[in-house]
Structure 1
């Protein structure tokens, strides 16, 4: 039997250790020259392991494979046998982005419960609110390092980072992994540019029609075409229409600008908290919190403005319908030579009259609740008797009803105070004026505050109608 030194010498002379795959595996090859030898020496596992160590293999030695080699070395001559396997590194995962908005671009009509198809509400506006989460990033991982057959660390590749799709009117939260909307608006995700944008202006390239559907938006809406009959545009901000509005509904929290004109045939509605502007209006229903400003003509419309109705063109005319304004109406011509019935009311403050009606209705409802509560309290007081003692559950009910009644009384005081404020405003008709620069025709009904007058004959301007000593007066301006 060979000594340990002789065996180690034999391994060094007749074998080759190869480290492969970047240090992850090691193989042993026995020389083909050994095939010529009649007898091979007895080999030991320990010497083979020491031989591998001397050749740089100290980790992940395959005990089974090495035992098989030393027991039957002739069977492994001329080949390559794997004798060690290291620990493979686990590369890090790339960062991923989760898009948290609905980005479906293909819109189609919805089937309603009754079987009809809704061609108007296509959902083209994808609205988000300020602070809403638009996307979230799962960060990349560093990975787990491995160990080579030589015992050295095998470095893992860290995951690749990706940036959040930070676009217009979006911001990255302090955690660095969350994308938020900076404003209310319409959100759009462009995968090609990897950007999420929030637009405070929703722009329609052409008409609002069956290809676009109804629009409801938290910001401003700009329409480069017209709004066709039956469609609805609602905006928390302003609405701008480059073309015409025909039998549609427009509601704006700000102003409405219609560069073409309005032709509604008494269908639809234009409503704005601010000012409504248009080139002309025909058969329109318009409600403006501030002013209605029209360049050419108002014909057979129902107009309501919180402050002014102003006609801008030199040949402007108001004819037919009803025009209301909180303070004044200005036009070149009022009515028509055919004595077309036309009504103008100023000093009426339409929104205040609506509010006072709502206050009256709420007060009526409040008094009913107060009466019921008062009767219930009286009943409990009678049950309490002389000692003013009630069972615990009845006493709790009495206390709740007492608090409720006090709340009703406080609300009544606030409603009454607001009603008195509005009544004072409605009685103040000093700013109630109708200015006519050329002619006011017969057939016109003028209401200034509580005073009403009918024009029986044409009156040439420039003339202003107002209130003097509680009656409708006329003067030049």
Structure 2
């Protein structure tokens, strides 16, 4: 009779609840038992099993509830825990060439520092390892308290950065050079190219004309006003660039400096290295490494703008970087209007928006194709066969559908790559190792800071939803 009374109490006054997708089980008591009714841990455990919990019941908690049920009335008590799933690890891409462009400068025999001899020209031979892919893992499924499996998430997959004159081995995990040449990593495209090089032994002028080349270009002189060099690889200029147009898919090195005269333009998919930039527009996908000065220019870098010289200064114009700006002096004692923006990644954000729009259009086309396939297959089912023209159309629609699936996978992979890069700019900051003068406007993400009085040696960061200065 006591067992019946106990069972009646549990059934009338207790509820078993599944939480967090079945990983945990909880008990909720509506009221305490009447005086004289003895409860047992075994009776509670049996009631829990009858209400769907088969795994992970905690006998200690059950005993505590049975001894003193009144202490747990109207309180959710966790009485069972399942085995949580272990999600798989994401794929990893290991790159075996220099990609950041921040090499150590060469010290000359006379003690001077050559900021531009950084060993940045990288050559490879056929069969040389460029990158390796460590595949994602599947993970391990867990077990819910109700005995049902808790599926683990498989790790995300990422593709090798295969570009021109590179080959992926059959296992899909190794990228090698397919020929001898100059190797270039393009972060914006996530591709490694092995390219040949075009060399100009003198100035780029009327005797040479404009240059457009599929590999890399090296100029042993200057680039005169009005001329244009465009290369899919790197561009290296031993002299200066004067009111000229420079556009490279890879890195750009200009050893003599950039004098834009309000006409010059330099664009690099990778990094830029030069001693100074004056009255020019510069657009860099990676890092912008400058020796001494950026003056009255519009400079944009996807990653960092780093001023490397002892008297490095940014004054006038506007500079933008996805991650960080580093200089010794920012602005001037004359309060020259100067703007600095960090925490923005213009190239990647534009590409991400374009991918979102492309996916929308692609999904519309997929839906139309699927409906057309279903209509034709239904016609075939009703009549037994289709006319030759309809059968050919059905076959073409199926091929188009497969093409859309491949295209969608490419978009999704690239979107994942960009989202990871954008997550990495959360620590955006401006580091000034000497003086920030009045007249400077600093913007980090969506926050702005106007410098009213000069500040010495400080970093500007986002803290508590505003821009603050912290000592360096």
The TM-score with structure 1 as length reference comes to 0.52
Please give the alpha-carbon distance, in whole angstroms, between the structure 2 residues aligned to 1:283 and 1:371: 51
- Contact persistence 2:322–2:425 (CA under 8 A): no
- Contact persistence 1:373–1:401 (CA under 8 A): yes
Instruction: Give the alignment partner of residue 372 of structure 2, picking from 376, 391, 409.
Output: 376
- Contact persistence 2:261–2:279 (CA under 8 A): yes
- Contact persistence 2:302–2:323 (CA under 8 A): yes
Per the alignment, residue 321 of structure 1 pairs with 317
- Contact persistence 1:238–1:253 (CA under 8 A): yes
Task: Kindly provide the CA deviation profile for residues 419-460 of structure 1, in whole angstroms up to 9, marking residues without a partner as x.
Answer: 244234324444312101222234433332x33213141341
1:78-477 → structure 2 map (5 Å cutoff): 202-377=198-373, 379-380=375-376, 383=379, 386=382, 389-448=385-444, 450-477=445-472
Instruction: Label 1:423 to 1:400 Cα distance change in 2 as closer, same or farther (>3 A).
Output: same
- Aligned-residue offset at 1:311: 0.9
- Aligned-residue offset at 1:284: 1.7
Per the alignment, residue 125 of structure 1 pairs with none
Q: Which runs of 5+ in 2 are unaligned?
A: 1-124, 127-178, 183-194
The TM-score with structure 2 as length reference comes to 0.53
Instruction: Label 1:203 to 1:408 Cα distance change in 2 as closer, same or farther (>3 A).
Output: closer
Per the alignment, residue 41 of structure 1 pairs with none
Q: Which runs of 5+ in 1 are unaligned?
A: 1-129, 132-181, 186-198
Partner SS state of residue 209, structure 1: coil
Partner SS state of residue 418, structure 2: helix
Instruction: Label 1:382 to 1:267 Cα distance change in 2 as closer, same or farther (>3 A).
Output: farther
- Aligned-residue offset at 1:290: 2.5
Partner SS state of residue 461, structure 1: strand
Instruction: Label 1:415 to 1:282 Cα distance change in 2 as closer, same or farther (>3 A).
Output: same
- Aligned-residue offset at 1:262: 0.9
- Contact persistence 1:259–1:279 (CA under 8 A): yes
> How many residue pairs get matched?
284
Partner SS state of residue 241, structure 2: coil
- Contact persistence 1:441–1:455 (CA under 8 A): no
Please give the alpha-carbon distance, in whole angstroms, between the structure 1 residues aligned to 2:405 and 2:224: 50
Please give the alpha-carbon distance, in whole angstroms, between the structure 1 residues aligned to 2:419 and 2:213: 36
- Aligned-residue offset at 1:213: 1.0
Task: Kindly provide the CA deviation profile for residues 64-88 of structure 1, in whole angstroms up to 9, marking residues without a partner as x.
Answer: xxxxxxxxxxxxxxxxxxxxxxxxx
